Each structure stands twice: as structure tokens, then as C-alpha cells.
């Protein structure tokens, strides 16, 4: 007689768990509190769905900076090539872009969700939407099923909790899984936002909102000490900064911002390809070219228009000063400002705006091979509810798929 597996949450981890459990002979029921499956997947990768990364396993693990080692077994059992093969088998061809990011050729997240839902139907998985789970039912240290918010009890041989984290609550990720796990004795590592924009103290960022910068180097400083350094793109907003390198730094920034008096700063090198000497020579060339102009008008080849006055202000230089009157000392101050434009980080944006939640069910209490709870037999966890998170680039979805595949497979096999 086949095992009855109940999966809570129809996100990437939950749908993959349900698929793998059904493929391995289980009778599977997938419960989703929203009206449709895959709501959060629909907004990943700006609606294009960055399903994984083409890097090798070691590089993927390196980019899963929140407990990456925990994923070693599940990732090797169901890796990025397995993810790509799965979607291509379902009629969703993929392409690899800059940074190894893998997307559907169509650039439509809907195609990814539809492929998973189609496979679930093909396997006879019972998908029930608009159903929220209130409690996990435990009998003698073993899972017995769940109780819905309407009070109905549903029996199961295994339950896989894949309800997501606490980010983007409009998609159904409202932190329900933490309460479920805690109620049966699991430790919850305090949650905080990861992959989230950062707010800054400086008012001038409002004047440059919408400005995107490429090929810059950002350094996260805590009390003047370098904590993290990344090269790439960023974007100014009305509240501060966002974009790929900012999101990747946000996990570390949030660690020092929460409950601490630490001074957290972002130092921007706007000309990282040049040494200070090369940059000074470049400035001198521009000053020679625009010697009869005001300083603000001599910077047009060096900086985007919006950023000229903030940089000059940071260097304590008057924008209307004639170029031919700029001293050597002032020119050096300008060069330093171009390579050390520093912003004070006051806080992260709310966790509801984070792409990913850091923290969650402690990995010390989960079997890394099977995703089964070490405290309650037959209970499994997968996806963002677990204390695992990664940088941008497809790594978080890969982690969800790998954990979901492991939990689904083993829940169908275990007696």
C-alpha cells in the first residue's frame, strides 16, 4: 500500500517535493493557502524566473552563504543539471545568461509554474488551494497529519512543510512554518531579511533615485573594518540603495544592524578599474579639455549627470568653481571621492520586501540527506522555512528544488 504524503505549500520546494514523492509511488496531497500555486515564483527574476545557476557544485555551495554545507547531500542528489533537465523534459527550454543565471528561453515565470503544475496533474497529485494549515498532529513522536485552519484533521504517513519564509507575504509567505515547527519542539533561528534593499542616512540619494551604476565596487564597512566587497551593479532609490551587489551584501549588513550600535557603511568605488594614479591622470586630461568651464561641467565624461554634484559635495568642492582654479590638493580630494564615496546604512527595508528570509528552522535538527526532522519522524522541511539562504543568481531556487526533491523522495520511501 502506498504511503500518503501531505505537502504544505505549493512554492518551488513544495511542488518539487510533491512531484518526487508521487514519482516514487506515494499518494500525494498538496495544500496551498493561496488561490493558485507558485505565487512567489511568478515574481522571481523580475518575472522571468531564474531557476538555477550553471556553476559547478562547489561554486553553488559557495554562494549559499547561509548554511551552504547543509545542502551538500541534497544538492548532489538533485543538482542544477537535474533542474534544467526536468524543465526541458516538461517543454521549457532554458538559456544561460551573464553570471551563469539560467532562465526559461521564453523569459516567462508562468511557463515554469505551469510546467510544474502540469507534471503534478500528470502524476495524479491532489492539489487543494485556499487551505491554510493550523497545526501539525503528532502521535508518539511521529507525524500523524495536520489540522486545517477550518478545524478539519487530515491524516498522513508523512508531512513536508514547505511554506516559505516571511518575505513577500502577499504571495503567501507569512512565516506560518516557524510556528508549526516551534510547536513540535524545533528551534527557530531568529529570522531577518536577506536579499533586501538598504536604507541610507544621506539625503542626496533621493535626488539621484532611479540612477543605475554598472561596473562599480561596493565595500561593506562595519566600524571602519571591511566586511565584504563585491563588484557589479547597483541602483539608487528614494530611500537608499538596491541592485545585485546591494542585495548580496544585505544579509551581512542586517546582521550588524540588528540590535547593535555598529556603524555600518557602504563605500563605493565608482572607478574600480583605475589605480589612484591612473584616475588622477584621467582627471587631469578632462580638466585640460574643459579648462574654461565650471567644475560641474568638467565632470560630464567622468560621471552620470545626476551624480556630479553629490560627488563634488563629498569632496568639499564648489560645483561652480572654474576648473583652472582647482588646486592639486582639491584634485586629489576629487579622485578620493570617486573611489571612496561612502554612504551610512541605517537599516534594511522591512522583511516583507526581502527576496529571501534568513533564519528559520535550525539545520541542526534536520537530516541533511533526507530533510526529515530529527525530533519527529515522518516530518520533513524544505525550502525557505529552513535556515538556508543564498546570494542572487538562481542559487535560492536551486536550494529549494534540491531540498524539495530530497524530502519528496525520502518521504515516499521511509516506513
Residue 52, beta-bridge partner list: 102
pLDDT for 169 equals 57
pLDDT digits (tens, 9 = 90+) for 105-149: 999 999 999 999 999 999 999 999 999 999 999 999 999 999 999
Asked if 245 contacts 299 with a C-beta cutoff of 8 angstroms, the reply is no
Asked if 178 contacts 363 with a C-beta cutoff of 8 angstroms, the reply is no
Asked if 393 contacts 140 with a C-beta cutoff of 8 angstroms, the reply is no
Cell of 233: 551593479
The DSSP bridge pattern shows strands 356-361 and 225-236 to be unpaired
pLDDT for 260 equals 75
Sorted by where each starts, the structural domains of the chain and their CATH numbers stand as 4-192+357-413 (3.50.50.60), 197-348 (1.10.8.50)
Kindly write down the DSSP assignment for every residue of 234-283, as one continuous string.
Answer: EEE-SSEEESHHHHHHHHHHHHHHTT----EEEEEES-TTS-HHHHHHHH
How much is the CA Rg of the chain, to the nearest whole Å?
Answer: 25
Element (H, E) at 358: strand 356-361
pLDDT digits (tens, 9 = 90+) for 379-398: 999 999 999 999 889 999 99
- State whether residue 242 is helix, strand or coil: strand
pLDDT for 415 equals 61
Asked if 53 contacts 43 with a C-beta cutoff of 8 angstroms, the reply is no
- Cα separation values, 104 from 68, 96, 101, 360, Å: 25, 9, 10, 30
pLDDT for 321 equals 96
Tell me which residue of 43, 39, 37, 75 sits closest to 354, measured CA to CA: 43
pLDDT for 382 equals 97
Cα-Cα-Cα-Cα dihedral sign, residues 192, 193, 194, 199: negative
Element (H, E) at 236: strand 225-236
Asked if 364 contacts 187 with a C-beta cutoff of 8 angstroms, the reply is yes
pLDDT for 128 equals 96
Cα 80 from Cα 238, distance rounded (Å)? 37
pLDDT for 168 equals 53
Kindly write down the DSSP assignment for every residue of 127-193, as one continuous string.
Answer: EEES--EEEEEEETTEEEEEEETTS-EEE-SEEEE----SSSGGGT-SSHHHHHHHHTT--EEEEEE
Asked if 233 contacts 227 with a C-beta cutoff of 8 angstroms, the reply is no
Those residues whose C-beta lies under 8 Å from the C-beta of residue 288, and which sit 6 or more positions away, are: none
Which residues of the chain fall below pLDDT 50?
172
Cα 239 from Cα 284, distance rounded (Å)? 34
The DSSP bridge pattern shows strands 27-32 and 4-8 to be parallel
Residue 304 burial (CB < 10 Å; 0-12/13-18/19+)? middle
Amino acid at each position: 500500500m502506498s504511503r500518503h504524503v501531505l505537502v504544505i505549500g505549493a512554492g518551488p520546494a513544495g511542488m518539487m517535493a510533491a512531484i518526487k514523492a508521487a514519482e516514487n509511488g506515494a499518494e500525494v496531497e498538496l495544500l496551498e493557502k493561496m488561490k493558485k500555486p507558485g505565487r512567489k515564483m511568478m515574481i522571481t527574476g523580475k518575472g522571468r524566473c531564474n531557476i538555477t545557476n550553471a556553476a559547478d557544485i562547489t561554486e553553488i555551495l559557495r554562494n549559499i552563504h547561509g548554511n551552504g554545507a547543509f545542502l551538500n547531500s541534497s544538492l548532489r542528489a538533485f543538482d542544477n543539471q537535474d533542474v534544467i533537465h526536468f524543465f526541458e523534459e516538461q517543454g521549457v527550454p532554458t538559456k544561460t545568461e551573464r553570471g551563469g543565471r539560467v532562465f526559461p528561453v521564453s523569459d516567462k515565470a508562468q511557463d515554469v509554474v505551469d510546467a510544474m503544475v502540469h507534471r503534478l496533474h500528470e502524476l495524479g497529485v491532489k492539489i487543494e488551494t485556499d487551505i491554510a494549515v493550523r497545526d501539525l498532529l503528532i502521535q508518539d513522536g511521529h507525524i500523524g497529519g495536520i489540522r486545517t485552519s477550518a478545524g478539519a484533521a487530515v491524516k498522513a504517513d508523512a508531512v513536508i512543510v514547505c511554506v516559505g519564509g516571511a518575505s513577500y507575504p502577499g504571495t503567501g509567505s507569512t512565516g506560518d512554518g516557524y510556528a508549526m515547527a516551534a510547536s513540535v519542539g524545533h528551534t527557530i533561528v531568529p529570522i531577518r531579511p536577506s536579499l533586501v534593499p538598504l536604507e541610507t542616512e544621506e539625503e542626496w540619494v533621493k535626488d539621484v533615485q532611479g540612477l543605475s551604476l554598472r561596473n562599480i565596487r561596493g565595500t561593506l564597512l562595519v566600524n571602519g573594518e571591511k566586511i565584504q566587497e563585491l563588484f557589479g551593479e547597483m541602483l539608487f532609490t528614494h530611500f537608499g540603495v538596491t541592485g545585485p551587489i546591494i542585495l548580496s551584501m544585505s544579509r551581512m549588513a542586517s546582521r550588524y544592524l540588528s540590535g547593535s550600535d555598529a556603524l555600518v557603511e557602504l563605500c563605493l568605488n565608482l572607478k574600480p578599474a583605475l589605480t589612484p594614479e591612473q584616475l588622477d591622470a584621467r582627471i587631469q586630461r578632462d580638466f585640460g579639455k574643459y579648462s574654461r568651464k565650471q567644475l560641474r561641467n568638467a565632470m560630464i565624461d567622468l560621471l552620470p549627470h545626476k551624480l556630479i554634484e553629490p560627488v563634488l559635495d563629498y569632496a568639499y568642492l564648489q560645483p561652480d568653481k572654474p576648473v583652472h582654479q582647482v588646486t592639486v590638493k582639491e584634485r586629489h580630494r576629487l579622485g578620493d571621492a570617486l573611489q571612496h564615496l561612502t554612504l551610512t546604512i541605517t537599516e534594511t527595508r522591512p522583511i516583507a520586501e526581502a527576496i529571501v528570509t534568513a533564519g528559520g528552522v535550525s539545520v541542526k535538527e534536520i537530516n541533511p540527506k533526507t530533510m526529515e526532522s530529527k525530533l519527529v519522524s515522518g516530518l520533513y522541511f524544505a525550502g525557505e522555512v529552513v535556515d538556508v539562504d543564498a546570494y542572487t543568481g538562481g542559487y535560492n531556487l536551486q536550494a529549494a528544488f534540491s531540498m524539495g526533491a530530497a524530502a519528496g523522495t525520502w518521504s515516499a520511501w521511509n516506513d
